[in-house]
Structure 1
Amino acid sequence: MTIGRETMLAAYLARQGLVEFGEFDDPSPGPGEAVVEMHYSSICGSDLHVAYDGFHDPGLLGQPGYPGHEGVGVVVESRTDHFPAGTAVLTTPPGPVGGCFAELQRIHEQHLLALPQGGDMLRLLMAQQLGTTVFALKKFITPERLATLRSAVIIGAGSAGLFFVQQLRRLGVPDIIVSDLNPQRLEHAARLGATRTVLVPEESLAEVVADAFPGEGADLVIEAAGYDECRAEAVDIVRERGTIGLFGFPENPGPSPFPVDRAFRKAVTMEWFSGTQSEPELASFRTALELINSGEIEVDYCLEAQYPLDQIAEAMTVARQQGNGAAKISLVIGGGEQKDGPVPAD
């Protein structure tokens, strides 16, 4: 953005289903807060639910940057000793109050992490999503479960699902089946370590799992797509006394159908994911930054589709279409630079 201006540009949720772009007054930090000039942000599946499916906070309609909560940038004004001006940071605001879809974001220090010095800012943007999967696996795979974990199924091969693939491979899980609606995403899954991919609905995930683990089912099923039918399918394909990791966002507000009887009779353990942003010291996000910066987790396939911030409505539409095959949709904001590659996806 232009130095000396007193206004910024930002996307905002005008009403349910309508994302717009406009001009707002520059924010000022309060005690313990910083203002971050945003360079990049990315669209999370939960952002889509907030924008289109009724999960938004009516009091935040019209607020700049809402509901974006995945972003990186540089502190330009600070009232905290921990993050002085000039610090490159990962911003991890809780989803309900996210403000990452804006040139400037005011944010409390408890939701900031300094980026590794010299790290690639666009790649490190993916630490927000990766961090949520690191946190989730702490719940899904206890040391006791890891000792007997031989098979896993991941439903959904978006950015989160593909991060799960890489981490399960690092943990030494020998059999990893991944399902998705898009063949391009499944190509990534196979390259990153999936032992079998399933393109639905052309193939039946239940039949593939039955063939792979006759009479048993998978030890662990991670639902990373966010659909009621996928959660029900997870119950069908997990083994008796197995574990289901529920990562996907609710499909709709309020009660949802779920095969309680089937889960009860199989004595399934179900672990729900939520709360990475409130973890002490933002530990999982810190781990994610280290994993990306060291190259232990690959993220370049998540950077194939980038849009300028003023095209956020189009970007959100593409994200709702499973990214047209892209694992992740990113936004280039005032401080960022467009990278080489197929930008935007179509």
Structure 2
Amino acid sequence: MPNALHAIVIHKAGDLRIDEIPEPVPAPDEAVIDVVYGGICGSDLHYWQHGAAGESILRAPMVLGHEVVGVVRRAAPDGSGPAEGARVAVHPATPVKEYVRHPADRPNISGGGYLGSAARFPHRDGAFAHRVAMPTRMLRVLPDRIDLKDAALIEPASVAWHAVNRVGDVTGSSALVVGCGPIGLLAIAVLKARGARHITAVDLHDRPLAIAEQLGADTVLKQPDDADVVAIDADVVIESSGSHRGLDTAIRGTTRGGAVAMVGLLPSGPQPVQIALAIARELDLLGSFRFNDEIDEVIVALADDTLRVSPVVSHIEPWRSAEKAFALAADPRVSSKVLLRFGSAR
């Protein structure tokens, strides 16, 4: 059917399909969005490769995708939210309104839903589709000067912004970023925008380190030895590799009394890292999970050119080439952020 809608659906590990879906039927507070770009996230790759992303286990087919931007096709029936034709980014979280023990300013850890997440069952479908209905509270209108390709990085840049928030004010600080995948690269961009004095980037491959330099890294290290790592002596560290070796490097590269934001998603289970060293140096090891209202700060920083993200995009692939795009995104030697293109801006 030439006018049928399609979505990128994960059925089980290694089983990624393009499935036909019905037209979205919006609730009164939902707008219908024509999706233009969707960025492939590390969690999307985990579902594809392993059938799980950390503790979130795939139990049924699920539409992937939470890094999406597009154009409002139909405004919400109740009159809330952006008007038809507005270009929008999506905040993919649905916080739990009533939850216990967590401060009101941390809804990201409330246990709520997230687009394209198997954390709960039934799973919450994502937005890798031609058209989706989205609650207007999730939508952020984009200033005209932000290109939609850059806007497709707003969600992961917000994750990086939140990670930097976790380690505190970085003005004048020395910083280390371990792992230069898309989140690590965006963390470098955020650290630069927020006044870090010196940024060191560590990765296993040449290509991401070259991009790290474009984004403002002052020193890049490929597979550094123990002496190199200890000599870094960074005030703040963003661990974005999602591996126990990367976390070990982060701990050893942090100065006494420093802080490590752990944003990389490690596999479930025990991890062999230098916890004794973290204790002796009195390091702050801080979990960093998704984000809250940082998305609004990211949009402002993109609009005023404080934050530069365009070098992070390496490939744009048509939605029909989803499996090729996922394979590209899974190989850090040849790619960084891979975007799927579903449509065009009006």
Q: Normalising by structure 2, report the TM-score.
A: 0.83
Query: Aligned with 1:298: secondary structure?
Result: coil
The C-alpha deviation readout for 1:253-280, integer Å capped at 9, x for no partner, is 344444333322222101111141xx2x
Select 1:126's aligned residue among 145, 148, 153.
153
Pick the aligned partner of 1:291 from 301, 317, 323: 301
Question: Which residue is 1:261 aligned to?
Answer: 276
Q: CA distance change for structure 1 residues 33 and 165 in 2, over 3 Å: closer, same or farther?
A: same
Query: Which residue is 1:58 aligned to?
Result: 58
Q: How does 1:26-175 map to 2 (within 5 A)?
A: 26-53=23-50, 54-55=52-53, 56-59=56-59, 61-63=60-62, 66-77=63-74, 78-80=76-78, 81-93=80-92, 94-95=114-115, 96=117, 97=124, 99-117=126-144, 119-141=146-168, 143=169, 146=170, 150-175=173-198
**CA distance in structure 2 between the partners assigned to 1:118 and 1:210 by the alignment:** 42
Structure 2 partner of 1:308? 318
Deviation at 1:98, TM superposition (A): 5.1
Q: Which amino acid aligns with 2:255?
A: R
Counterpart for residue 239 of structure 1: 255
Contact 1:182 1:325 (8 Å CA) reproduced: no
Q: Does 1:326 align with 2:346?
A: no
Q: For residues 208 and 267 of structure 1, what CA distance do their matches in structure 2 show?
A: 21
Paired with 1:209 and 1:138, the residues of 2 have a C-alpha distance of 24
Over aligned residues, Cα RMSD in angstroms? 2.3
Q: What are the superposed Cα offsets for residues 111-135 of structure 1, whole Å, 9 maximum, x if unpaired?
A: 2111113532122111111112112
Superposition deviation, residue 290 in structure 1: 1.9
Question: For residues 41 and 207 of structure 1, do their structure 2 counterparts lie closer, same or farther at Cα, with a shift above 3 Å needed?
Answer: same
Greater CA deviation, 114-123 or 36-45? 114-123
1:105 positional shift: 1.7
- Name the amino acid aligned to 2:238: I
Which has the higher mean CA deviation after the structures are superposed, 80-89 or 255-264?
255-264
Distance 2:153 2:194 in 1: 20
TM-superposed deviation, 1:220 = 1.4
The change in CA–CA distance for 1:325 and 1:292 in structure 2 (over 3 A counts) is: farther
In the aligned structure 2, how far is the partner of 1:31 from the partner of 1:256?
Answer: 46
Q: Which amino acid aligns with 2:239?
A: E
Other structure's SS at 2:19 match: strand
Identity percentage of aligned residues: 23
What pairs with 1:198-237 in structure 2 (closer than 5 Å)? Answer: 198-200=221-223, 203-204=224-225, 206-212=226-232, 217-237=233-253
Letter in 2 for 1:328: K
The runs of 5 or more residues in structure 2 that have no matched partner are 93-113, 118-123
Contact 1:51 1:67 in 2 (8 A): no
Residues 222-270 of structure 1, C-alpha deviations (whole Å, 9 max, x = no match): 10111122112212221222111111112x2344444333322222101
Matched length: 313
Alignment of 1:170-181 (within 5 A): 170-181=193-204
Corresponding letter in the other structure for 1:334: G
Whether the aligned pair in 2 keeps the contact of 1:103 and 1:335 (CA below 8 Å) is no
Give the whole-Å Cα distance in 2 for the aligned partners of 1:58 and 1:164.
29
Q: Who is 1:340 aligned against? A: none
Greater helix proportion: 1
Change (3 A) 1:58 1:188: closer
**1:278-303 per-position Cα deviation (integer Å, ceiling 9, x unaligned):** x2xxx311221222222222222123
- Give structure 1 regions of 4+ aligned residues with deviation exceeding 6 angstroms: none
Deviation of 1:158 after TM superposition, in Å, equals 2.2
What is the letter of the counterpart of residue 77 of structure 2?
A: R
Q: 2:192 and 2:262 mapped to 1: Cα distance?
A: 19
Given residue 260 of structure 2, which amino acid in structure 1 is its aligned partner? I
Q: Give the direction of change, closer, same or farther, for the CA distance of 1:118–1:232 in structure 2 (3 Å limit).
A: closer
User: How many Å separate the matches in 2 of 1:117 and 1:329?
Assistant: 23
The residue aligned with 1:15 is 12
CA displacement at 1:336 relative to structure 2: 5.6
Alpha-carbon displacement from aligned partner over 1:46-89 (angstroms, at most 9, x marks no partner): 22123323235535x333xx221001111223334212332211
Q: Distance in 2 between matches of 1:171 and 1:92?
A: 22
